Amino acid sequence: QQQVKQSPQSLIVQKGGISIINCAYENTAFDYFPWYQQFPGKGPALLIAIRPDVSEKKEGRFTISFNKSAKQFSLHIMDSQPGDSATYFCAARYGSARQLTFGSGTQLTVLP
């Protein structure tokens, strides 16, 4: 099963708040879990990524939490800013050809 399930579909947060987006997967062969950020009219761009042997990775205001036993991972955006308003996709990589399978996306709106 190659699916990655992402929630919520949309999220509205006040400036300075914490945004949390969750993803779950089934395939234990996935070996790399990136998050992509997409602004309107643009292609997705890598935001942050984690490997399954690490439980947490932090880059600035962005943190990935990874729970291997539960097959879940989440993106936390601390001190959310209006400039963070975008669509966020979780993804998981598999295979020697490094195919990515994506979640359905979360549209984040940060109110000023």
Site for another protein in 22-61 (CB under 8 A): 32, 34, 36, 41-46, 49
The CA–CA distances, whole Å, from 75 to 11, 16, 20, 101 equal 13, 16, 6, 17
Our CB check for another protein shows the closer of 71 and 94 to be 94
Based on the shown chain and the rule CB under 8 A, indicate whether residue 98 belongs to the binding site for another protein: yes
Our CB check for another protein shows the closer of 25 and 89 to be 89
Nearest distance, CB of residue 97 and another protein, angstroms: 5
Nearest distance, CB of residue 21 and another protein, angstroms: 13
Which amino acid makes up residue 29? A
The CA–CA distances, whole Å, from 29 to 26, 55, 72, 96, 102 equal 9, 17, 14, 11, 15
Our CB check for another protein shows the closer of 72 and 87 to be 87
Based on the shown chain and the rule CB under 8 A, indicate whether residue 94 belongs to the binding site for another protein: no
Strands (E) across the chain are located at 4-7, 10-14, 19-25, 33-38, 45-50, 56-59, 62-67, 72-77, 86-94, 99-102, 106-111
Residue numbers of the site for another protein (CB under 8 A)? Answer: 2, 6, 9, 32, 34, 36, 41-46, 49, 89, 93, 97-105
